[in-house]
Amino acid sequence: MSEKLTESASLITEVSLNNVVNKIEIEDFEINLLLQAVLFRYGYDFHHYARASITRRINNCMRKTALNNISEMIAKILHEVDFFELFLKEMSVTVTEMFRDPKVFNTLRQQVFTQLKTYSRVNIWHAGCATGEEVYSVAIMLKEEGLLSRCRIYATDFNNHSLDIAEKAIYPAEKMAGFTHNYLLSGGKASFADYYQAKHRHAKMHSSLKEHITFANHNLMKDQSFAKMHLIICRNVLIYFDQVLQNKVLKVFQQSLLHRGYLLLGDKESLDFSGQSKNFLCIAKKEKIYQKINYD
């Protein structure tokens, strides 16, 4: 009797294990089909995003849009352009803040901006700018260094929803205390309140900062460079890409930079193992600031 029980228990375990494995396999299969559909219909290749993160985001999107499974999402992706916009929004991790990692901004000011002062015109590309907080931080620093008037900042992202927020330059007032703290730690020379106007529960950044910024949609998966740059800032974007896409994007950056141009990456990103380290000099290891040293 007990032998029979053990036998049926192990049979049940095997069957339920098979079900679990099947469920995961089905989801994996559906995700591959979904990514194919996105590529086929819109030319966005998410195959080179970190798989665990993309799976989590797709499942979140499914829950938020009250779909029953990924196959239903495939049909919507193929037939509803509006749904794709929403999908793109859900695929982006847009966490950002002003003067994030203040030490990095301090080093940028001390080591890079002093060099940029030797140019009469300066082009800066801010790739993956999300909702714009980092771009306004850089614009404030450039203003304090007397550089903003000769700068053109191209701030790009593939998420139109984030770009809209960035263009409006309006942020929740309750975030200003934290931003002020970061600003001071980053070597801010004035009062942070000089750069925004508080109204009700919001703060609007001064339009004098925005005059020098061009916001535009740009997809690092497939779009090329659009001008020669003195500085490229791309922080906390490459971490979501696999090595293949990271290499491709870093090559675009290398080709877009002028000789002696600067590249700033995020805390967990680097040029190591990218094939680009030979083309750059690391000028601030902890802050991930590099300078291009070849002539291509």
Site residues (CB under 6 A) for ligand SAM, limited to 106-125:
none
Binder to ligand SAM among 123, 186, 236, 246 (CB under 6 A)? 236
57 binds ligand SAM (CB under 6 A): no
53 binds ligand SAM (CB under 6 A): no
C-alpha span between 92 and 110 (Å, rounded): 32
287 binds ligand SAM (CB under 6 A): no
Say how many C-beta atoms besides its own lie within 10 A of residue 102's C-beta.
Answer: 18
How many residues at the interface with ligand SAM, by CB under 6 A? Answer: 21
Q: Is 248 exposed, middle or buried (0-12, 13-18, 19+ CB in 10 A)?
A: middle
* Of 59-67, 144-152, 153-161, 271-279: span binding ligand SAM (CB under 6 A): 153-161
C-alpha span between 171 and 160 (Å, rounded): 17
- Rounded to the nearest whole angstrom, what is the least distance from the CB of residue 94 to ligand SAM in the complex? 4
Binder to ligand SAM among 94, 106, 111, 115 (CB under 6 A)? 94
Residue labelled with tokens 């090559």: 251
Question: Do 108 and 192 touch, CB atoms closer than 8 A?
Answer: no
Site residues (CB under 6 A) for ligand SAM, limited to 181-220:
219-220
Site residues (CB under 6 A) for ligand SAM, limited to 239-258:
240
Q: Is 131 exposed, middle or buried (0-12, 13-18, 19+ CB in 10 A)?
A: buried
Binder to ligand SAM among 70, 77, 84, 96 (CB under 6 A)? 96
Of residues 50, 54, 77, 55, the one with CA closest to residue 65: 77
Binder to ligand SAM among 93, 173, 184, 258 (CB under 6 A)? 93
288 binds ligand SAM (CB under 6 A): no
Sign of CA dihedral 155, 161, 165, 171: negative
231 binds ligand SAM (CB under 6 A): no
Say how many C-beta atoms besides its own lie within 10 A of residue 239's C-beta.
Answer: 15
| Residues at the site binding ligand SAM, with contacts judged by CB under 6 A | 92-96, 100, 128, 130, 134, 157-159, 162, 219-221, 235-237, 240, 266
